[in-house]
């Protein structure tokens, strides 16, 4: 089935295809963070640094996107540059969007959900990102819930992140994940990180302190046939963390402004992130970069251990 999908829709670079075939460690990366998360040229520079971080820690990076209707697993330097320069002109692609972007021969920057889907098609088990989506503030009334949460419950790709984005309702997001059976792991932490801040105040389901212990849990899950992800939350390094009270105040002010201006739906996240960047004098962008690099490092180390365990398990 995977080979049929590759022939019909997937373009996997030779390096990544060989690594997957040989059961070597591979880490998936999303492309929304390139086109929608940062300005050019910092976005492209960061993407290359993240790929380099994964290589330094023993794994092969696989940046995922949709280009000319093809599902791309691994981007060339020219393709990274294209997505970085195109920015918001590239569609933000989640689960619902993939068929239409593919059939239309268009471009799409993949969200967490879409990246998980394409990574799973290619046979990649580990994915590093910045933060995952969740229940938006006021979501009990608006029903604004990210598709990322359902994807975590159904797709067999573990996600390493710095928790949910601070602009979300983290408590309700965690309740949702509990309902759909997604375990939230704290990597060397007892509390769920809040993206820019090291702690949201909410407890994780399980604290795990080493890459091999995470890999063991992941292998057990999949060998038992329990579908879905493990969400591995990894706090931003302390020296780059922002003050949680300052972030909360900025978000509250931005939410009030959004309400007065009638900003809703998919426009809310870019608006809130822009306001945080303004209020922190650009410091939030630097924090974002540092936490993504940190997540890439941890994901690569987990991928190495998972690859070793999976190979040993197959040998019996």
Catalytic annotation, residues: 30, 165
Task: Name the phi and psi angles at 169, rounded to 5.
Answer: -85, 95
Question: Distance between CA 18 and CA 110 in Å, rounded?
Answer: 23
Please state, in angstroms and rounded to a whole number, the distance separating the CA atoms of residues 102 and 48: 26
Name the one residue in this structure whose structure tokens are 């990322």. 148
Cα gap 257→259, rounded to integer Å: 5
The number of beta carbons lying within 10 Å of the beta carbon of residue 303 is 30
Q: What is the DSSP string of 279-316?
A: HTTTHHHHHHHHHHHHHHHHHHHHHHHHHHHHHHHHH-
Find out whether 194 and 170 touch, Cβ atoms under 8 Å: yes
Helix, strand, or coil here: 122?
A: helix
Task: Residue count of the chain, please give it.
Answer: 316
Report the alpha-carbon distance of residue 252 to residue 167 in Å, rounded: 9
Q: Which tokens sit at 86?
A: 């195109």
Residue 43: closest CA among 306, 288, 307 = 288
Report the sign of the C-alpha dihedral through residues 76, 232, 221, 155, in that order. negative
């Amino acid at each position: 089935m995977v080979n049929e999908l590759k022939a019909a829709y997937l373009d996997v670079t030779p390096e990544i295809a060989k690594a997957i075939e040989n059961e070597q460690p591979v880490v998936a990366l999303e492309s929304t963070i390139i086109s929608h998360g940062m300005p050019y040229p910092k976005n492209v520079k960061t993407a290359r640094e993240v790929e380099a971080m994964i290589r330094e820690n023993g794994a092969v990076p696989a940046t995922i996107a949709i280009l000319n209707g093809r599902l791309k697993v691994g981007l060339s330097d020219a393709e990274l540059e294209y997505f970085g320069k195109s920015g918001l002109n590239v569609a933000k692609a989640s689960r619902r969007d993939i068929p239409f972007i593919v059939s239309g021969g268009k471009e799409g920057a993949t969200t967490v959900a879409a990246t998980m889907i394409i990574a799973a098609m290619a046979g990649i088990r580990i994915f590093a990102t910045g933060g995952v989506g969740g229940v938006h503030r006021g979501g009990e009334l608006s029903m604004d819930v990210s598709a990322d949460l359902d994807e975590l419950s159904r797709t067999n790709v573990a996600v390493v992140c710095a928790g949910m984005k601070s602009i979300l309702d983290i408590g309700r997001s965690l309740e949702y994940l509990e309902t759909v059976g997604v375990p939230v792991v704290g990597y060397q932490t007892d509390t769920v990180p809040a993206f820019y801040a090291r702690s949201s105040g909410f407890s994780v389901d399980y604290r795990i302190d080493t890459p091999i212990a995470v890999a063991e849990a992941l292998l057990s899950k999949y060998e038992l046939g329990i579908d879905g992800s493990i969400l591995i939350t990894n706090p931003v390094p302390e020296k780059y963390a922002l003050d949680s009270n300052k972030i909360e105040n900025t978000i509250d002010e931005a939410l009030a402004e959004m309400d007065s201006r009638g900003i809703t739906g998919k426009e809310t996240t870019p608006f809130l992130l822009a306001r945080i960047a303004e209020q922190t004098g650009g410091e939030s962008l630097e924090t974002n970069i540092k936490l993504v690099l940190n997540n890439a490092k941890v994901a690569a180390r987990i991928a190495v251990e998972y690859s070793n365990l999976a190979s040993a398990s197959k040998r019996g």
